[in-house]
Structure 1
Amino acid sequence: MNPSGNQVMRPEIASSWRRTSMSGLRPESALDGLHIAEFDTASRLMRAAGPVLDELATRLLDTTFCIALADSSCRIVDRRFTDQRTELALNRISAVPGAQFTEEHAGTNALGTPFEVMRGVAVHGAEHFVEALKAFSCYGHPIRHPVTRRIEGVLDITGLTRDANPLFAPLLQRAVEDIEQRLWEGARLSEKRLLRAFQHASRSPCRAVVAIGGEFVLTNRAALDLLEPPDHAVLRDLVSGVTGSVARDLVLGSGAAVHLRAEKITGTADGFLVELTPRARTRLPVPRGRVAENRRPGLDQQLAELSRGAGPVLIAGEPGSGRTSAARAIAASRTVQVLDAADVVVVGEQEWAKRLRSPKPGAEVLVVEGIELLSDALCAGLARMLADDPGVRVVLTSAPRSELPPRVLSLAATCPSRVELPPLRNRTDEFAPIARTMLAELRADLRIAPSALEALIAQQWPGNLRELAGVLRGITERRTAGDITVADLPAGYRDAGRTARLSRRDRAERDAITEALRDTGGNKVQAAQRLGISRTTLYSRMRALGVSR
């Protein structure tokens, strides 16, 4: 398709047209009914951009050009005009403050398209996808935060002309640079406010105070005595995503039990003040050995209680999350026989069922691994066995219950006792002790440096504990003493990126998006439909959460 009638379509415009078509928009679509939503008029973007827009509007006096500013969701938050005709023309197409001018809603345009491709783009006349925009010529350029490098918004200049104008690109790029500089100055001001808050809270030498900013951590002497290096990564994770204050009890890496209270520092983008109050003078023991792999508050006690009980038990969790270790913890010192459902394809259903019905002599606990792999007939046979007296204690392991098919859910329901093991990516509080236990088992006298720990915590760990063990084993093959730094990590595990700042809720959202993309083969339109969100919202959340597909 040729938008201009006599020129070949530029690649970036052609790609934009394809994305727009996939969203269901048509060239004849009207733009006079776009939804208008509220926005933050005092955001850091608005504060940084205001003076720059004022100066830019002065330069454009006596022209038909206007300026539009969109935020990080591509919603228009400010406009400046020097000609009333342009203002009226934009009002007719709903290009007004509060309107989301993404490609999904308005087609190819100089706000939505730079937002998608993350670089400056000019769109002239017939290059616009929607007919209502073809009277305009415009250029848009994304605004990146100089510290995080995330897109804070898009700045656009638009005129009532179909012709390209050489003024657009250099004028907008200089304005964007000025806005980014003001964002940087705002970040420095944020650091000063964080320092003042820390100094005020640290006036009492007995208070253990930690100030956490985007790129640094401040601790007073009392906090320094309490914290070990890995604790800093845990504290950062606990405050991520908090908008006000949070209070909770916490066990530090040293075993010290403390009460944590964290509060967002007003006037900072991501500054938090944390106060730690020791709950007792004694230190809690840090579990060692294999049982520590499954450590979380109450889990060790739950497994110990189940080991003293009777009746079947279900242990559910992702592959590599410690299901087998938990099963052996329940068995304790009793003799265990393991029957793996994956062996059905090797020995056949009849032989596998025979082994199920006739445990080996002397076996006291029968562990059936991976019941989600069993057929309907084998599930029914196992359920009948559990209903009768099997003569041994039976422990079943499975994938998370939310992923089990109905036939397996019915089997799982026959177990009155159930344990759900969390994935490693959701066990930030325990990550350092887990890694320390693994290193001890590998007989390596190594310590994980805080920066390396933060990078490891930020990973998704689809292989869970098994994957972490493999990474640490590889490191110990190269060195056996000293600090593990980021440079010692495998290349794919070195970049903490923005996921290191994600809250638990954000990580759950990231998991849902990743799963939807995997199930749809990377098709973002289908993934958005499956998640019940728009394609533009999906793109926005992927950028914010660091999903790279």
Structure 2
Amino acid sequence: MSCDSLEVPYRDDVDADGSLVSAAGPLMSGLEDQIADQPVAVVLTDPRGCILDRRVGKADLRHHLDSVYLAPGFTYAEQFVGTNGIGTALEARQPAHIHEQEHFTGPLIELTCAGVPVLDPLTGSVAGVVDITCFAKDANPLLLSMATGAAQNIQTALLHQHRGHDIHLLQEYLRITRRCQDAVLAVSDDVLMVNDQARADLSTQDQNLLVERLRERSARRSDSPFEIELLDGQRCRVHAKNLDDQNFATVARLQRNAQSALASGAVSRPSPPPPGIGGSSTALQKCARALHEHYRNNAWALLGGEAGTGKSALARAIHRSNNPSQQVHALDMRTVNTADWKAAEDTATQDSGSLLVVHLDDAGPSDRERLRHILTEAATEDRRIWVAATRSHPTTHGFDDIANFFTQTIEVPPLRHRIDDLDEIAALLLRRATKRAGANFTTDALHVLKRRSWPGNVAELADVIGSVARKTNDQLITAEHLPAQCFSQNRRVLTPLESMERDAVVASLTEHGGNRSRAARAIGISRATIYRKINDYGIAIPPQP
């Protein structure tokens, strides 16, 4: 970012029909009438600083604002433009009055801007900013007061808007719950209501899954009933009613399948995780139950899912829990050698034990042919060998003939879909890495670990915990022990230089208790630059001690 020129990003995903624009519309129109032929502009932005609406009095000011990209679609967040009425109000969450040279970039020094955050009256989060801008020579001491009054009026309009939606949602929810004993949910962007039956029947994961489906159907304006499979395998028929043509507001009633255990009143109790596998979430239990059933029926299973989810570890655990006296022979298609092939061929001729084919989708043509021969030998009717295979890419070509040996593909969920298991998994991996039974994580460390989406899944978590275990002998691991990558949510692989830069930013933020200004000064960069780095690297500010 240069102080001599402007590089203002343009966004084409502006929500010009959203609730903020709708609530502010009458006010913006009224202000436009008031400032007609006046050298003043009123600007409305979203929480990112992206301009949603602009009303300008005199034409010369309009032309100047166009020249500095202060127009709908452009983003005036502080990390892009530096100090300005919009971006500074967003960062500070309080009114900002920026006059002439107080602007960071030269093209803005002819202006005076007064920005005031608009807070959502229900959540307290920043919904956007009202900014009043004029030429510096025309600045009025009441500029900030005008912006404050406009922001308050928009907040009042948002409250009325929320109340109207929420009252209608509540009335429909109460009407349905009085008439039936089924599970009922009422959901909008800001509200989730569930009755006692829904709370008893649906796990948190089930509720999240249902809300996603309802949101999709609301976007399509569909009210037709549909079926949903819960994580415990039971099916429900969902009757949903959309209450608003413009916003997401839906009441749903779940009609339980009469043939399911859910309808019979049976309560499924969490079963213990397979040996050596941490966690007892519904998603993991569903996967483990299916794999247990395959093993007991000698039905071969293909385990799918993202890399690093622990597919081979789960297959080994299922084997140990059913047949602890027999070994599992693993055939890793990435590292397979002559001795491995010989051991796999010997296993295929036995009447017990298990063969685990790892990284099936990495097998080359010659390896696939040899594997096909082994599986054909093992599939002889009088053999009782169990075979499981893992793959990470379900659309891999050339594997159909091998996939035919397996009765079903069982998807192993990614770690981010069973984040409630992370406490147990992390503790298990830490004790395994340190060889100390009492080793564990503090609450603040677990909080940091749970914020990360873990694109590398359990394998990535194991690498992080292994590095922590090598660097400290402490029995209790705190957030300060965790590497910088745990505080970052990257959407791409970083270069070594970028990783070093990210680590320096995280270290400075940690040292200064999350204070961005002090952290920026300590490493010799501007406040605007550290904001940009935090955004680029997806850094979550470490909690203050």
TM range (shorter): 0.5 to 0.7
Please give the alpha-carbon distance, in whole angstroms, between the structure 2 residues aligned to 1:383 and 1:133: 69
Deviation at 1:239, TM superposition (A): 1.6
Deviation at 1:44, TM superposition (A): 2.0
User: 1:318–1:121: structure 2 CA closer, same or farther, 3 Å change rule?
Assistant: farther
Map residues 19-98 of structure 1 onto 2, 5 A cutoff: 27=5, 39-41=15-17, 43-50=18-25, 52-53=27-28, 64-72=39-47, 74-93=49-68, 95-96=70-71, 98=72
1:509 is matched with none
Deviation at 1:398, TM superposition (A): 4.3
2:239 is matched with 261
1:101 aligns with 2:75: yes
Identity %: 16
1:113 is matched with 87
SS of equivalent residue, structure 1 residue 283: coil
Cα offsets for 1:445-490 (capped at 9, x unmatched): xxxxxxxxxxxx6x486x598459889xxxxxxxxxxxxxxxxx94
1:145 aligns with 2:120: yes
1:275 is matched with 253
Deviation at 1:45, TM superposition (A): 1.1
User: 1:398–1:139: structure 2 CA closer, same or farther, 3 Å change rule?
Assistant: farther
Map residues 384-399 of structure 1 onto 2, 5 A cutoff: 384=370, 387-388=373-374, 393=385, 395=387, 397-398=389-390
1:142 and 1:151 in contact (8 A); partners too: yes
1:235 aligns with 2:207: yes
SS of equivalent residue, structure 2 residue 61: helix
Residue type matched to 1:276 in 2?
A: L
Q: Decide which of 389, 400, 411 is 2:392's aligned counterpart.
A: 400
1:449 is matched with none
Cα offsets for 1:306-347 (capped at 9, x unmatched): 7656778555555455644445657995664234689x99xx
Please give the alpha-carbon distance, in whole angstroms, between the structure 2 residues aligned to 1:265 and 1:467: 43
1:124 and 1:138 in contact (8 A); partners too: yes
Residue type matched to 1:274 in 2?
A: A
SS of equivalent residue, structure 2 residue 252: strand
Map residues 160-239 of structure 1 onto 2, 5 A cutoff: 160-161=135-136, 167-169=142-144, 171-202=146-177, 204-205=179-180, 209-212=184-187, 214-219=190-195, 224-225=196-197, 227-228=199-200, 230-231=202-203, 234-239=206-211
Please give the alpha-carbon distance, in whole angstroms, between the structure 1 residues aligned to 2:297 and 2:342: 28
Q: Superposition RMSD on alpha carbons, in Å? A: 5.8
Please give the alpha-carbon distance, in whole angstroms, between the structure 1 residues aligned to 2:450 and 2:134: 39
1:258 and 1:277 in contact (8 A); partners too: yes
User: 1:269–1:523: structure 2 CA closer, same or farther, 3 Å change rule?
Assistant: farther
Map residues 388-467 of structure 1 onto 2, 5 A cutoff: 388=374, 393=385, 395=387, 397-398=389-390, 400-401=392-393, 414-416=402-404, 417=406, 419-423=409-413, 459=419, 466=425
Please give the alpha-carbon distance, in whole angstroms, between the structure 1 residues aligned to 2:330 and 2:255: 48
* Of 305-314 and 270-279, the range deviating more from structure 2: 305-314
Please give the alpha-carbon distance, in whole angstroms, between the structure 2 residues aligned to 1:324 and 1:256: 27
Residue type matched to 1:217 in 2?
A: M
1:315 and 1:419 in contact (8 A); partners too: yes
1:320 and 1:467 in contact (8 A); partners too: no
2:43 and 2:130 in contact (8 A); partners too: yes
User: 1:172–1:306: structure 2 CA closer, same or farther, 3 Å change rule?
Assistant: same
SS of equivalent residue, structure 1 residue 401: coil
Please give the alpha-carbon distance, in whole angstroms, between the structure 2 residues aligned to 1:516 and 1:522: 16
Q: 5+ residue gaps in structure 1?
A: 1-16, 21-25, 428-456, 472-488, 501-512, 528-538
Deviation at 1:228, TM superposition (A): 0.3
Please give the alpha-carbon distance, in whole angstroms, between the structure 1 residues aligned to 2:301 and 2:373: 10
Please give the alpha-carbon distance, in whole angstroms, between the structure 1 residues aligned to 2:157 and 2:356: 61
SS of equivalent residue, structure 1 residue 280: coil
SS of equivalent residue, structure 1 residue 147: coil
2:89 and 2:129 in contact (8 A); partners too: yes
2:523 is matched with none
1:366 is matched with 354
Residue type matched to 1:101 in 2?
A: T
User: 1:182–1:316: structure 2 CA closer, same or farther, 3 Å change rule?
Assistant: closer
SS of equivalent residue, structure 1 residue 154: strand
Residue type matched to 1:148 in 2?
A: T
2:527 is matched with none
Residue type matched to 1:419 in 2?
A: T
Residue type matched to 1:160 in 2?
A: F
Deviation at 1:273, TM superposition (A): 0.5
2:130 is matched with 155
Please give the alpha-carbon distance, in whole angstroms, between the structure 2 residues aligned to 1:157 and 1:262: 44
Please give the alpha-carbon distance, in whole angstroms, between the structure 2 residues aligned to 1:36 and 1:313: 42
Residue type matched to 1:277 in 2?
A: Q
User: 1:283–1:349: structure 2 CA closer, same or farther, 3 Å change rule?
Assistant: closer
Cα offsets for 1:161-203 (capped at 9, x unmatched): 2798765545434533443343234323332111222244346
TM-score by length of 1: 0.57
User: 1:45–1:522: structure 2 CA closer, same or farther, 3 Å change rule?
Assistant: farther
Residue type matched to 1:384 in 2?
A: R
TM-score by length of 2: 0.58
Residue type matched to 2:75 in 1?
A: F
Q: Which has the higher contact order (CA 8 A, sep 6+)?
A: 1
Please give the alpha-carbon distance, in whole angstroms, between the structure 1 residues aligned to 2:392 and 2:232: 32
Cα offsets for 1:235-294 (capped at 9, x unmatched): 354124443457433466998753112333328965320112233166356485657874
User: 1:521–1:395: structure 2 CA closer, same or farther, 3 Å change rule?
Assistant: farther
User: 1:251–1:283: structure 2 CA closer, same or farther, 3 Å change rule?
Assistant: farther
Deviation at 1:153, TM superposition (A): 2.0
Residue type matched to 2:210 in 1?
A: L
Q: How many residues align?
A: 434
Residue type matched to 2:111 in 1?
A: F
Please give the alpha-carbon distance, in whole angstroms, between the structure 1 residues aligned to 2:11 and 2:234: 53
2:467 is matched with none
